Structure 1
Amino acid sequence: MKRMVLAAAMTLALSGVAQALEVASATETARFYDLEGKLWAAWNARLRPADAAPFYSQSPHNLYFNVTPLKFTGWAEFEKVMTPALAGGAAAKMLIGDDFRVLREGRTAIVAYTFRTEFSGANAPQSFTGRMTDVWTNERGTWRLVHQHMSSPLVAP
């Protein structure tokens, strides 16, 4: 019984959050599509975290979930771990899927989509298909990522 009450309470709480967010206008959606494109252009050229750092909030409390390793707490940890992991001269091309969506409320935007990344370079995998959820917040007039969740299905589509 306690579990049912807890589940009902969580469902109601989450539905309130979902109701507070609104589907972004076409203009806002285009702005975030462009922003995501710039983010991935920064990543794609050399797969160097330093190139993409300006898009990320520097708060040490943010969580970033990646395909591997599981998570990073704060951008500094992400950059420290991923810089040597991605070293080696590879490059990538990220293709955003046609399911790009943006939800907005005030200074916060949630962006979700599927993607396909094609890699080039020595020791690079051929391609990667996944899903992305980015949470952006407006920090003093600039949109920055405060959370990113990248995942891939166990069986590629």
Structure 2
Amino acid sequence: MKNRLAILFAASLLTVSSSAFGAPKAARSSADLILRVRNLFETWQALDPEKAAPFYAKDADLAFFDIAPLKYTGWTEYGEGVKKAFADFASLKLTVGNDLRATQRGNVAWTTATWQGQLFRKDGGNMAVEGRWTGVWEKRGKEWLLVHEHMSMPLPPPPAGQSLYTRLGGYDALAAVTDDFIGRLLGDKGLSRFFMGVGNDSRKRIRQLVVDQLCEATGGPCFYIGRTMKAAHQGLGITENDWKAAVDHLVATLEKFKVPQKEKDEVLAAISGLKADIITSAGSGGK
């Protein structure tokens, strides 16, 4: 009987110890992760990838999904890409939603949250944004490091009927149009001067920004984070003739891809709204 009582007493102690010490430890881990996420978002407000680097694992093959572009592979590519994306902004304010959650399974954990932000441009403009975020963490030594991150934004409300984006063929179609259009601009002796001194990396960035802008403007699931048209073209000396030549190239591109007249007119109407911000000179231009 004494042995049985001793065993029951020991079992009771184990049960109490498990509930008293195990749960608070898990709770502390979750609290630590939540604090780390808040510190991560606060750090990104400086728009400096080097300050955010300590939160990320440095494995070369890790995938990080961003709003734009679609994906970065490895922290090095991520840090360099984000630095370019933030180049036109002076500051950023980020607020993590109250729905921030952390779940841990051993040395792996995942965190989820919605967020709101406000980007302030160097040219004086600003933009309000909101989205959702998922982070996958791994405990390495004493620190939790991000091994995967997914930042995304909700789609805009669907328009009545099919969007222009859908009718044009979606993202791949717009990317093909952009590639052909930029190729025509580069091949035009009168317009190629605007690309003089622009390196391959900068051309790729310009190409991506054009795709994102077309995608967003036509109702697609993209978000343009570049400068305003006025700021981007200021000082280039673009004339009315330059504008007309560029529009002619765009029309030729749309015709090459057999874009129907209705959709072609809608694209040109959307582009025409940018004219006042792009033409910066009253001269005759290169033609």
- Shorter chain as denominator, the TM-score bin is 0.7 to 0.9
Amino acid at match of 1:126: M
Corresponding position of 2:77: 77
Deviations 1:93-115 (Å, cap 9, x if unpaired)? 21111111111101111000111
Is the aligned partner of 1:145 residue 2:138? Answer: no
**Structure 1: how far apart are the matches of 2:154 and 2:94?**
17
1:67 aligns with 2:40: no
Gaps of 5+ in 2: 1-24, 158-287
Residue 5 of structure 1: aligned partner: none
Distance (Å, rounded) in 2 between the aligned partners of 1:69 and 1:26: 36
Query: Retained in 1: the 8 A contact 2:108–2:137?
Result: yes
The total of aligned residue pairs comes to 132
What secondary structure is seen at the aligned counterpart in 1 of 2:45? helix
Q: Deviations over 1:69-128 (max 9, x none)?
A: 000110011112222221245211211111111111011110001110122242564211
Give the match for residue 14 of structure 1: none
What's the CA shift for 1:28?
2.9
State the TM-score, normalizing by the size of structure 1. Answer: 0.76
Superposed structure 1 runs of 4+ greater than 4 Å apart: none
Tell whether the 8 Å contact from 2:89 to 2:119 is kept in structure 1 after alignment.
Answer: no
Counting only pairs closer than 5 Å after superposition, residues 97-116 of structure 1 correspond to structure 2 as 97-116=97-116
What SS does the corresponding residue of 1:120 show, helix, strand or coil? strand
Could you tell me the TM-score, scaled by structure 2's length?
0.43
* Larger displacement relative to structure 2 (74-83 or 60-69): 74-83
Which segment is superposed worse, 69-78 or 97-106? 97-106
Cα distance in 1 for partners of 2:150, 2:50 equals: 19
More helix by share: 2
Range with bigger deviation, 146-155 or 26-35: 26-35
Alignment RMSD (CA, Å): 1.9
Match of 1:95 in 2: 95
2:77 partner amino acid: E
More strand by share: 1
Equivalent position of 1:27 in the other structure = 28
Please report how far the alpha carbon of residue 32 of structure 1 lies from its aligned counterpart in structure 2 after TM superposition.
1.5
Q: Percent identical across equivalent pairs?
A: 33
Gaps of 5+ in 1: 1-23
Inter-partner Cα distance in structure 2 for 1:129 and 1:73: 24
> Following TM superposition, by how much is the alpha carbon of 1:30 offset from its aligned partner in structure 2, in angstroms?
2.2
- Whose radius of gyration is greater, 1 or 2? 2
What do the CA deviations read for 1:13-68 (whole angstroms, capped 9, x no partner)?
xxxxxxxxxxx9543332122101111121102x1111101110000111000000
